[in-house]
């Protein structure tokens, strides 16, 4: 009997003793047996935050041009299918099942992690559909991440900050060195923030990558109700404010446009197509506002860097009499620093635990908030759904509810809102 997609996902979860095992030897070996060909154009996107948004901008703009586009991202929110998209649509179960069968037939006795199975399956599908461009989001780090078996035509590191320290190191310099591992000799390497780590710059210089840094080699100028992109190869005027909320999205959009400039000889893009892409781009859980009252804002912010951006985004949204946080995080994240980043933006905290073995308990979150003086405005719930329901009942129509802390938190809120 043929396995269903759910059967396959359960199976591949059990095939490696570690959920995360960084390294390229295993995945390269199986890719060789599968005879995977490099994509016609590959754009790899890494970074602490901003990866998903940059991939979304690239994908939408290229789709507006009529190109055949494959996009591989992680993690998913509701269904695994979200990780692999062809022509802007989540791949259906049957093609994913076939791709996992191909990986399984080729791997022999080689153990693969869940992410390595998924990466090989996505690359096989992109091969089969002969995509014009494969957009590949790094899962963790860069140097030893499975997508790094592909030599990117353009590599983007959107930002570098503290996250996943157990795997990448405890300093921004150590993490920057890992993320710079996706750069290639003689090829464009973009850094999408100011102040790149010295380790990233030195690595790019050592291998002869064409490093371009936001604010030095490319960037943007915000104007009233529009903005301008300035890059090495082009200037683009009167661009519409992106559909993704948050002024930091101009950094991610600039990375996408700069990358497309670098492959314009193979994938030409017009100004009109860029403008349409910016206005039509969609991405769940990035300062996303659900319809109705009170306003419910969903954001996957799960580290201090992302939480600071969320705080800026909440401020930019204008005045709300009261903001209630529905807050749940993973225990291995910097909970205290995330709370600190939202200082002055949240009036009440409704905390819960997500359905994950890595979840912080509601008690842990309550204690972290109490240590910062928020005990009197904190309430505890068993689940995100219960916390969100209570917040909706308590909030006035003009108030705001902000759901954040992890991908799990947003996923559970979305499920509860259906």
Q: Is the pLDDT of residue 252 over 80?
A: yes
Burial 125-147 (b: 16+ CB within 10 A, else e): bbbebebbbbbbbbbbbbbbbbb
Q: Which pTM value belongs to this model? A: 0.95
Looking at residue 348, what is its pLDDT?
98
Tens digits of per-residue pLDDT, 10-22? 999 988 777 677 7
What average pLDDT score do residues 201-230 get?
96
pLDDT for 1: 61
**In this prediction, what percent of the chain has a pLDDT beyond 90?**
93
| pLDDT > 90? residue 280 | yes
Domains recognised in the chain with CATH numbers = 5-280 (3.40.1190.10), 288-417 (3.90.190.20)
Tokens matching residue 259: 């990358």
The CA-atom distances, in angstroms, between 102 and each of 25, 34, 42, 109, 349 are: 19, 8, 22, 14, 47
Q: In this predicted structure, what is the pLDDT of residue 2?
A: 82
Residues 61-82 have pLDDT tens digits of 999 999 999 999 999 999 999 9
């Amino acid at each position: 009997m043929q396995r269903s997609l759910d059967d396959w996902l359960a199976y591949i979860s059990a095939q490696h003793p570690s959920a995360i095992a960084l390294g390229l030897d295993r995945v390269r070996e199986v890719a060789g047996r599968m005879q995977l060909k490099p994509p016609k154009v590959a754009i790899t996107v890494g970074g602490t935050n901003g990866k998903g948004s940059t991939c979304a901008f690239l994908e939408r703009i290229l789709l507006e041009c009529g190109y055949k586009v494959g996009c591989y991202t992680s993690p998913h929110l509701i269904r695994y299918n979200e990780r692999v998209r062809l022509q802007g649509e989540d791949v259906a179960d049957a093609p994913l099942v076939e791709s996992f069968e191909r990986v399984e037939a080729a791997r022999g006795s080689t153990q693969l992690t869940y992410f390595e199975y998924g990466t090989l399956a996505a690359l096989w599908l992109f091969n089969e559909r002969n995509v014009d461009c494969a957009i590949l989001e790094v899962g963790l780090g860069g140097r030893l991440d499975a997508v790094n078996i592909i030599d990117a035509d353009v590599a983007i590191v959107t930002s570098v900050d503290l996250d996943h320290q157990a795997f990448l190191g405890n300093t921004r310099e150590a993490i920057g060195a890992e993320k710079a591992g996706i750069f290639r000799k003689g090829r464009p390497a973009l850094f999408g923030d100011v102040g790149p780590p010295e380790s990233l710059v030195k690595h790019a210089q050592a291998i002869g990558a064409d490093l371009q840094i936001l604010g030095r080699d490319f960037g943007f100028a915000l104007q009233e109700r529009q903005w301008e992109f300035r890059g090495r190869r082009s200037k683009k005027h009167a661009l519409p404010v992106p559909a993704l909320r948050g002024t930091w999205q101009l950094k991610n959009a600039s990375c996408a446009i700069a990358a497309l400039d670098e492959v314009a000889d193979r994938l030409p893009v017009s100004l009109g197509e860029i403008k349409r892409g910016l206005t039509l781009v969609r991405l769940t859980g990035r300062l996303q506002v659900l319809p109705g009252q009170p306003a419910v804002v969903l954001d996957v912010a799960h580290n201090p860097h992302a939480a600071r951006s969320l705080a800026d985004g909440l401020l930019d949204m204008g005045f709300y009499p009261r903001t209630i946080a529905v807050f749940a995080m993973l225990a291995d994240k910097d909970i205290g620093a995330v709370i600190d980043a939202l200082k002055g933006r949240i009036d009440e905290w409704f905390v819960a635990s997500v359905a994950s073995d890595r979840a912080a308990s509601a008690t842990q979150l309550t204690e972290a908030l109490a240590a910062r003086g928020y005990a009197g405005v904190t309430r505890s719930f068993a689940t995100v759904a219960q916390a969100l329901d209570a917040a909706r009942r308590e909030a006035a129509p003009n108030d705001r509810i902000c759901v954040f802390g992890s991908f799990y938190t947003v996923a559970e809120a979305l499920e509860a809102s259906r």
